[in-house]
Amino acid sequence: MTAGSTAPLDYVSLKKKFQPVLSKRVENRHLKSFWNPSKLPDGVIELAGGMPHEKFFPIEAIDLKISKTPFNENPKWHDSFTTAHLDLESPGELPIARSFQYAETRGLPPLLHFTKDMVARINRPAFSDKTDSNWDVILSGGSNDSMYKVFETLCDETTTVMIEEFTFTPAISNVEATGATVVPIKINLSVDRQSQGVDVDCLSELLENWSTGPYSHLNKPRVLYTIATGQNPTGMSVPQWKREKIYELAQRHDFLIVEDDPYGYLYFPPFDPENPLDNPYQSSSVTTERYLNEFLMKSFLTLDTDARVIRLETFSKIFAPGLRLSFIVANRFILEKVLELADITTRAPSGASQAIVYSTIRAMAESNMPSSLPLKELMFESWMQWIMQIASKYNHRKNVTLKALYETESYQAGQFSVMEPSAGMFIIIKINWANLGNPEDIPQQMDKLDEVLVKNGVKLVLGYKMAVSLEYSMQHSDFLRLTIAYAKDDNQLIEASKRIGNGIKDFFENYR
């Protein structure tokens, strides 16, 4: 692979460019097929595939009751609900007879077309040709399945992968399972939205001086894995100017960017201490267009002139995690290699999950009729409206939690500070050791704090347990991660915040 690119990037040039970055195992992935998938002439009786006839399925029909708004407590038949019906023959584009059957590994076309259209509208790759034919989308069985397939395709024992120093730890496990080595990169824990996230100066220095630096025994990095928006665990987002710098570094030092974005649609406007429960999402001025153009952080795809970005999205945070449904966006060559792995492992993601998601979005769109818009446009608009409602609920929960934390005695005594999130599901609380000085045994002290918090009736995640390298991140790993996602209501979030404050207060009163 060489830095820079020559447009347009057709399949042949993509193959030439990215063949060298593939793992050694890729060349051994070949599905030994015993059937011919080509279309048969009319009248041919199909007795080749081992597919049961749909009349063998125990489910003849599914009726979905669909809420038009999160936490909908209206009466059963209120107009804030709609329904969807699936049976062996309907809906015509994705009936049970098809969705419950063996299907294309890349995913069922109706949902695939919807997801690709969504990406093209929101984060169209900069390298895309006029027909969007040199990039694509494939469905997968949840974000962890997506990252497994991507790292298994790109990494082997010769590969170095850079990951933000605190991260979603299964990403580390997936990389290391390939034999590759993970290197932590510094992030700025800051409430300033223009400085938080990846420290680009440190990243640049690391890469420019690789041959003489602490990792000179390793190959230069081939991949950067980042949760750039609503980062897990910090809740922070890489600002646009940093994204541009990071992409320039990717070109100069020739590495791929794997952008994991489970939380990006859950954007948080800044918290206003003068009006703590203010929620801009509730304003009629926040249209879909404004949400997409002014609220959402743009993907690295929109900077990607070289086709070096692989984007991971999921339905987990905006629909339901148990459906295990996600999708991967990348150039056609890379996706073809990921698809070859899926062909011999998981095959297609659950057809039932695909049918439920597609039918729900379709029903949301149809419930907004009559409209002059075609169904495709209505589906996109309806889905964005649902996502905006989800984001609004999360923003309200964030406000409620921050307000409650700031009202605790412990916060007002300066025993902890709060890193306000810019997106996602998490808030981090940084312990302030004040005049005591940072302890040398931070993990042990954080474990003791955890015990006190549990005695006070609340459980959080210890920041040091999400470090790529505890040695590298020891001195600023003294934080707690709380989620605003699982509490049943505002009162539970308020009570949890009080317990956090009480627990930290108790800890400091007995600190040695």
Q: Which domains does the chain carry?
A: 11-33+105-348+382-390 (3.40.640.10), 393-509 (3.90.1150.10)
pLDDT value at 193 more than 90:
yes
Looking at residue 348, its pLDDT comes to 93
C-alpha angle 507-509-512 in degrees, rounded to nearest 5: 80
What confidence tens digit (pLDDT) does each residue in 468-500 have? 999 999 999 999 999 999 999 999 999 999 999
284 or 451: whose pLDDT is higher?
451
Given phi > 0 = left and psi -120 to 50 = alpha, else beta, which region is 52? beta
What confidence tens digit (pLDDT) does each residue in 357-382 have? 999 999 999 987 767 888 999 999 99
* C-beta neighbour count of 21 within 10 angstroms: 20
pLDDT value at 187 more than 60:
yes
Q: At what angle do helices 442-455 and 490-509 cross, to 10 degrees?
A: 130
**Lookup: tokens for 309:** 């970005």
Looking at residue 7, its pLDDT comes to 55
Q: What is the mean pLDDT of residues 319-325?
A: 95
Q: What φ, ψ does residue 139 adopt, rounded to 5°?
A: -85, 155
Looking at residue 47, its pLDDT comes to 77
pLDDT value at 388 more than 70:
yes
Q: What average pLDDT does the structure give for the chain?
A: 93
Which residue is associated with the tokens 């890489």?
A: 238
pLDDT band per the 50, 70, 90 thresholds, residue 435 = low
What is the percentage of the chain residues whose pLDDT exceeds 90?
A: 82
Q: What is the mean pLDDT of residues 173-179?
A: 96
d(CA 475, CA 464): 10
Q: What is the mean pLDDT of residues 233-259?
A: 97
Looking at residue 512, its pLDDT comes to 64
What confidence tens digit (pLDDT) does each residue in 331-344 have? 999 999 999 999 99
User: In a 3-state reduction of DSSP, which class is residue 433?
Assistant: coil
Contact 447, 454 (CB under 8 A): no
d(CA 383, CA 96): 22
pLDDT value at 177 more than 90:
yes
**Lookup: tokens for 102:** 């063996």
Q: What is the mean pLDDT of residues 102-109?
A: 93
Contact 407, 424 (CB under 8 A): no
* C-beta neighbour count of 420 within 10 angstroms: 17
d(CA 100, CA 246): 43
Q: First CA to last CA across the chain, in angstroms?
A: 55
Choose the weakest-confidence range: 129-138, 144-153, 363-372.
Answer: 363-372
Q: What is the mean pLDDT of residues 232-254?
A: 97
What confidence tens digit (pLDDT) does each residue in 274-285 have? 999 999 999 888
